[in-house]
């Protein structure tokens, strides 16, 4: 055994390149922080940046070393084999050092141009290398010269160091190699995951500040580009195409279906940007709280003809503006967030919460309201980086995020975070802390009504004998909601606040129809200061909530949302509409008429009656198909060309 190397020697060989890469990334991060120190201090993020920076540098190293590091002990059982492996590893790791150093050297210029680390824009530029090369030569000659010196110097120095230090005088005994391989594999995998929670880390983890550039400093540029490339698998330029239409015709239909005069539209660059006038402008607009209820379909709501599981919501439906005919745009929480918070229509790809081009500068109610002095935030009981929520919010108008780690002594914690009552207790505490002069906006997202349906004991009389069922979870969620609204009603902020209670989607979207429309039906209710009870039966969508809320808050605004204000009296004379995405099928419903759009297939028209889609064509079918196609194409175009925004001043 004396002529065999120790496993520690092999581990030392792997640690040496890791320490060099960590040193490179730490030094470049230090330089970026020194350069942007004023903004870093304003965000109070100095310590966080370096701590999380080390974390994400290890994530990158785990990705790079996962396979080669795991194989190294096996190669070390034979000195000649290790010699060949050494040459391969020297080249492999040197290539990565070239990439890492190049990305870090490129970062200051990218920050100057786009105020962020390299992202999807950088990836797009790689597809146009000729144009980019000429631009770089013209605009950044000194930076190119610096890169031309630093990158080769770093590569040569690293390669020589590896050849000199990657030595093993005696082979590793094979039992040690077999024992070491799973240890290295698990270690690298944990470095990549960097979390013991439900979800691995992602850029959303470091989104602690509204200043996105400061958040980016806690990452490294190789990681941000790699993550952007990873996201492009879901990007698809806004999803699959359902057909073609002349652009001007498409925009004309979109404008017509917004039911606004041509004079309302104010920007040729942002086609749907328009002025929306409040009927009564308030000097001090109402606060806005959106309570997004997890998986609360109409089938669970007594007031919508469902099971008797929501006595509090049923009671409240008679005390506010109750929308009895609202449909979700999709089947995932991020789709509900997309529709309610941004007013954006769905596509066949992921919601914009998770897509590359919408991570900054994308329109949200929070961005609009923050410009008017509102404090804006997101409150959740679980992990806010799930589905990239934190990253999207902090990049698009939200000032703060409260999630599962921010609750002291919660009443109950389940698989998806703290209970709804803990969430609402924290929300009430936050809202009560504001002075009457400070307007605020909050998105409060519940999570109890999610499999495995965990909630505290002793709160409700169970509907089902077995505790952890969807019906019992709905009943508990309703209990927590009712308790919160009753407490809010006694608070000082009640009279100055509007509350929108709406579901993100249904929990059971299934059926033998191409699109099970009945399972997209959800509750929607506006309560609060000055709201008089009424019921609105017009067909509507989650995308209509933003345009309905802003005038009700007393705010006249300019925004790109294509939804309708469902409280406009003249809407009683036109059929409502809803747009639903079910896998790759998009349904456009107008009154009882439905158009289904499917990839590579001709559009089909149906009548929706008694929860059944019946194929039917009429004289109006072609016009309805044009409307459906125009909306699908607009969404794809608006995302791809970044047309859904407010112009920067």
DSSP secondary-structure letter at 5?
Answer: B
Tell which residue, 494, 470, 460, has the closest CA to residue 312.
460
Which run of H or E residues covers position 226? Answer: helix 221-235
At residue 154, the 3 state secondary structure works out as helix
What percent of the residues of the chain are helix, what percent strand, and what percent coil, each to the nearest 5? 50, 15, 35
Encoded tokens for 430: 């936050």
Tell which residue, 539, 518, 608, 505, has the closest CA to residue 325.
539
| Residue 641, C-beta contacts closer than 8 angstroms, at least 6 positions apart | none
Q: What is the per-residue pLDDT across 287-319, written as a single tens digit (0 to 9) for each?
A: 999 999 999 999 999 999 999 999 999 999 999
| Residue 203, C-beta contacts closer than 8 angstroms, at least 6 positions apart | 215, 216, 219, 224, 227, 388, 391
At residue 272, the 3 state secondary structure works out as coil
Tell which residue, 542, 468, 476, 536, has the closest CA to residue 503.
542
CA dihedral 518, 526, 551, 289 (to 10 degrees): -110
Encoded tokens for 259: 């039911």
Domains and CATH numbers, the chain: 7-235 (no CATH), 247-640 (3.40.720.10)
Encoded tokens for 6: 């120790």
Distance (Å) of CA 154 to CA 59, 85, 165, 510, 554:
22, 22, 16, 57, 59
In this prediction, residue 79 carries a pLDDT of 78
**295, 523 in Cβ contact below 8 A?**
no
End-to-end Cα spacing for the chain? 73
In this prediction, residue 1 carries a pLDDT of 44
DSSP secondary-structure letter at 341?
Answer: I
CA-based R_g, the chain, Å: 28
Q: How many Å apart are CA 451 and CA 427, to the nearest integer?
A: 23
Q: How many Å apart are CA 163 and CA 61, to the nearest integer?
A: 20
Classify burial at 98, counting beta carbons within 10 Å of its beta carbon; exposed 0-12, middle 13-18, buried 19 or more: middle
**How many other β-carbons are positioned within 10 Å of the β-carbon of residue 55?**
17
Ranges of residues in the chain with a pLDDT under 50 are: 1
In this prediction, residue 510 carries a pLDDT of 66
In this prediction, residue 238 carries a pLDDT of 57
Distance (Å) of CA 277 to CA 45, 220, 362, 452, 643:
39, 44, 22, 45, 22
Q: How many Å apart are CA 297 and CA 40, to the nearest integer?
A: 44
**How many other β-carbons are positioned within 10 Å of the β-carbon of residue 165?**
11
Q: How many Å apart are CA 590 and CA 605, to the nearest integer?
A: 11
In this prediction, residue 511 carries a pLDDT of 61
Encoded tokens for 360: 């900054």
DSSP secondary-structure letter at 136?
Answer: H
Distance (Å) of CA 2 to CA 5, 192, 470:
8, 36, 63
Tokens 């979207």: give the residue: 509
At residue 534, the 3 state secondary structure works out as strand
Tokens 């129809």: give the residue: 513
Q: Which residues pair with 607 in a beta bridge?
A: 593, 614
């Amino acid at each position: 055994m004396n002529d065999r190397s120790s496993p520690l020697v092999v581990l030392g060989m792997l640690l040496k390149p890791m320490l060099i890469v960590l040193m490179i990334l730490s030094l470049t991060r230090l330089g970026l922080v020194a350069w942007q120190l004023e903004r870093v201090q304003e965000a109070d993020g100095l310590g966080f940046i370096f701590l999380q920076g080390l974390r994400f540098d290890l994530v990158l190293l785990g990705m790079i070393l996962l396979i080669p590091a795991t194989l190294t002990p096996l190669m070390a059982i034979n000195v000649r084999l290790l010699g060949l492996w050494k040459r391969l590893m020297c080249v492999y790791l040197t290539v990565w050092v070239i990439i890492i150093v190049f990305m870090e050297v490129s970062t200051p210029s990218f920050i100057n141009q786009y105020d962020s680390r390299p992202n999807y824009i950088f990836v797009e530029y790689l597809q146009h290398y000729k144009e980019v090369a000429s631009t770089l030569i013209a605009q950044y000659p000194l930076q190119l010269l610096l890169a031309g010196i630093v990158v080769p110097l770093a590569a040569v120095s690293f390669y020589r160091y590896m050849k000199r230090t990657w030595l093993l005088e005696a082979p590793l005994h094979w039992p040690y190699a077999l024992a070491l391989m799973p240890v290295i594999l698990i270690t690298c995998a944990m470095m990549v995951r960097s979390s013991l929670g439900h979800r691995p880390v992602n850029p959303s983890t470091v989104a602690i500040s509204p200043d996105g550039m400061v958040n980016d400093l806690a990452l490294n540029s190789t990681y941000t580009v790699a993550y952007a490339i990873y996201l492009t698998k879901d990007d698809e330029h806004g999803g699959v195409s359902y057909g073609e239409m002349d652009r001007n015709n498409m925009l004309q239909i979109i404008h017509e279906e917004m039911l606004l005069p041509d004079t309302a539209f104010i920007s040729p660059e942002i086609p749907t940007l328009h002025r929306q006038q409040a009927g009564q402008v308030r000097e001090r607009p109402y606060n806005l709280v959106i309570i997004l209820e997890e998986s609360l379909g109409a089938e669970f709501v007594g007031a919508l003809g469902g099971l008797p599981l929501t006595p509090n919501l049923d009671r409240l439906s008679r005390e506010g503006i109750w929308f009895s005919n609202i449909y979700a745009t999709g089947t995932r929480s991020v789709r509900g967030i997309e529709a309610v918070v941004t007013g954006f229509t769905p596509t066949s790809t992921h919601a914009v919460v998770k897509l590359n081009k919408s991570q900054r500068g994308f329109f949200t109610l929070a961005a609009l309201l923050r410009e008017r002095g509102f404090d804006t935030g997101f409150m959740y009981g679980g992990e806010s980086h799930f589905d990239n929520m934190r990253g999207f919010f902090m990049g698009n108008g939200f000032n703060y995020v409260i999630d599962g780690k921010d609750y002291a002594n919660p009443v109950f914690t389940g698989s998806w975070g703290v209970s709804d009552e803990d969430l609402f207790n924290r929300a009430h505490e936050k809202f009560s802390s504001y002075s009457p002069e400070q307007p605020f906006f909050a998105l409060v997202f519940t999570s109890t009504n999610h499999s495995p349906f965990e909630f505290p004991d002793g709160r409700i009389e169970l509907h089902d004998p077995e505790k952890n069922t969807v019906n019992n979870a709905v009943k508990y969620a309703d209990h927590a909601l009712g308790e919160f609204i009753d407490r809010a009603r006694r608070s000082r902020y009640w009279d100055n606040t509007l509350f929108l209670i709406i579901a993100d989607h249904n929990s059971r979207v299934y059926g033998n129809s191409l699109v099970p429309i009945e399972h997209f039906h959800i509750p929607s209710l506006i309560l609060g200061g000055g709201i008089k009870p009424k019921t609105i039966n017009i067909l509507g969508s989650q995308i209509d909530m933003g345009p309905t809320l802003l005038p009700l808050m007393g705010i006249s605004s300019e925004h790109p949302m294509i939804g309708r204000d469902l409280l406009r009296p003249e809407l009683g004379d036109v059929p409502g509409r809803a747009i639903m995405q079910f896998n790759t099928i998009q349904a456009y419903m107008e009154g009882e008429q439905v158009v289904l759009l499917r990839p590579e297939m001709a559009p089909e028209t149906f009548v929706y009656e008694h929860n059944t889609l019946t194929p039917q064509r009429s004289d109006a079918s072609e016009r309805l198909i044009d409307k459906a196609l125009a909306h699908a194409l607009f969404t794809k175009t608006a995302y791809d060309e970044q047309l859904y925004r407010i112009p920067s001043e």
